[in-house]
């Protein structure tokens, strides 16, 4: 899998919702790299993604992903966005506002556009301008919300443009800024900085050695200090980023992946015993990822495997008194899946149903990459799956857009009438009307 493929151009405005449900099945084992390659393409995603589980485990009501839904929190009714490039241009101008609250609203609009619209080869000549604006927002001293939104925008910039020449040129300085934010003791955006750093490296990093170096940096400079401070949001994000980076290393050099994970094994054991269910789930999934990747080359066991299995079994049977039924159900599912991988070599299977296609994720490398893109894109994930060649390359899927059905089923991205996007759209429409009216006025004699 090349990490620098050129993205296809498809700038349609998209509306998609994807809900996660579990369905019982007697098939507990799944194959690896089993994505089907046939079927027609549509920009309308189906509203269901499900994973197969065995009948005896169906009482666990959460999927391998601890979240219950794949529906983006900003998926609201109704309306057509219009020309996204003009909207984005207007939003970039609005970032010059002095009031932090106004900049926050504008950044929220920009982030939503970038998540729901694959920008591909659009925005010619203004891509670096957009990135620079986001980087300025990440340095803001006035608003933590502004910094968080800007950092999410940086991650989305690499999802949209990260395979292009601009990303290669900008990656070094962006990485330096994100590393500083991720490790600054006074920073309140360490977690989103680590998330953006991981995605930028995954998309635009030179090769697996870059990913290994960053994984070691995150382990030593982010995960270890965050565990000491019991900053669970940072711990969770550091584990998620480590998982994403390890998918790159494990896919290319199993021996290097083993060395990198060995250095972080004790920290992962500590994370398994943390109070946060999300932290436990991310740690368990990283154990499963590494075990499956290394066991594929030769029989493998962790140095503390007996202790690890004991902890996983304990968490699998933990009562719901401390954390609530939903959280504990998610934890039980994750621990069960990890135990199956370690003890039997099995991996869970996730399925995304996109119009006319079912995309399967039957190994931990694909599953953890899916988690990372879902975290970055939210409700815009299906739109990018169907239009963004980066995701199609990462997950080895193709969609056929040559049929009439594909064109007829194009869907619109939807916007709440009270949202900032709607306000930007209205402002843009007023400008166009005024310009059109001016052209109709007779010249003064």
Q: DSSP string of 118-143?
A: --TT-STTTHHHHHHHHHHHHT-SS-
**pLDDT reported for residue 433:** 57
- What's the pLDDT score for residue 305? 96
Task: Check the CA dihedral 58-59-62-64 and report its sign.
Answer: negative
- The whole-angstrom separation of Cα 355 and Cα 26 is 25
Question: What's the burial of 55, exposed, middle or buried (CB within 10 Å: 0-12/13-18/19+)?
Answer: exposed
pLDDT at position 403:
52
How many angstroms separate the Cα of 206 from the Cα of each of 158, 209, 369? 14, 8, 18
Strand partners of residue 358: 353
Q: What is the pLDDT of residue 435?
A: 59
Q: Which helix (H) or strand (E) holds 150?
A: helix 144-161
pLDDT reported for residue 321:
74
Q: What is the largest CA-CA distance in the chain?
A: 93
Classified as helix, coil or strand, 101 is helix
- Tell me the CB-side half-sphere exposure of residue 275, using CA atoms within 13 A: 6
Residues with pLDDT less than 70, the chain = 1-82, 355, 400-445
Task: State the pLDDT at residue 68.
Answer: 29
CA–CA gap between residue 21 and residue 23 (Å, rounded): 7
Could you read off the pLDDT of 311-359 as tens digits, one per residue?
999 999 988 777 788 898 999 999 999 999 999 999 999 998 876 788 8
Per-residue pLDDT at 416: 42
Instruction: Tell me the C-alpha distance between 77 and 33, whole Å.
Output: 36
């Amino acid at each position: 899998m090349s990490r620098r493929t050129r993205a296809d151009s498809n700038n349609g405005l998209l509306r998609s919702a994807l809900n996660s449900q579990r369905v019982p099945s007697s098939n507990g084992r799944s194959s690896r790299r089993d994505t089907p390659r046939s079927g027609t393409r549509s920009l309308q995603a189906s509203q269901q993604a499900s994973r197969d589980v065995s009948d005896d485990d169906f009482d666990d009501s959460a999927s391998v992903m601890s979240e219950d839904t794949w529906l983006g929190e900003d998926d609201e009714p109704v309306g057509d966005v219009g020309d996204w490039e003009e909207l984005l241009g207007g939003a970039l101008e609005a970032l010059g506002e002095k009031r932090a609250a106004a900049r926050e609203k504008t950044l929220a609009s920009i982030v939503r556009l970038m998540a729901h619209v694959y920008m591909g080869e659009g925005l010619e000549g203004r891509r670096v301008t957009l990135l620079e604006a986001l980087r300025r927002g990440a340095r803001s001293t006035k608003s933590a919300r502004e910094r968080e939104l800007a950092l999410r925008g940086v991650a989305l910039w690499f999802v949209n443009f990260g395979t292009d020449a601009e990303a290669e040129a900008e990656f070094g300085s962006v990485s330096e800024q994100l590393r500083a934010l991720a490790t600054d003791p006074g920073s309140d955006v360490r977690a989103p900085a680590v998330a953006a750093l991981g995605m930028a490296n995954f998309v635009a990093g030179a090769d697996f050695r870059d990913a290994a170096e960053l994984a070691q940096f995150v382990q030593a400079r982010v995960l270890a200090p965050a565990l000491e401070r019991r900053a669970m949001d940072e711990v969770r994000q550091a584990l998620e980023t480590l998982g994403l980076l390890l998918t790159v290393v494990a896919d290319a050099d199993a021996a290097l992946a083993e060395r990198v994970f060995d250095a972080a094994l004790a920290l992962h054991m500590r994370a398994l015993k943390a109070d946060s269910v999300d932290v436990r789930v991310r740690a368990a999934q990283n154990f499963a990822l590494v075990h499956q990747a290394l066991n594929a080359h030769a029989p493998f066991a962790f140095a503390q495997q007996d202790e690890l299995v004991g902890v996983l079994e304990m968490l699998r049977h933990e009562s719901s008194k401390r954390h609530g039924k939903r959280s504990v159900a998610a934890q039980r599912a994750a621990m069960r899946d990890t135990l199956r991988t370690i003890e039997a070599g099995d991996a869970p299977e996730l399925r995304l149903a996109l119009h006319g296609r079912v995309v399967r994720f039957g190994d931990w490398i694909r599953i953890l990459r899916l988690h990372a893109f879902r975290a970055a894109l939210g409700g815009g994930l299906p739109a990018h799956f169907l239009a963004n060649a980066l995701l199609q390359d990462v997950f080895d899927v193709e969609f056929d857009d040559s049929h009439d059905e594909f064109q007829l089923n194009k869907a619109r991205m939807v916007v709440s009438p009270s949202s900032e996007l709607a306000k930007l759209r209205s402002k843009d429409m007023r400008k166009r009307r005024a310009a059109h009216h001016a052209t109709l006025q007779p010249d003064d004699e």
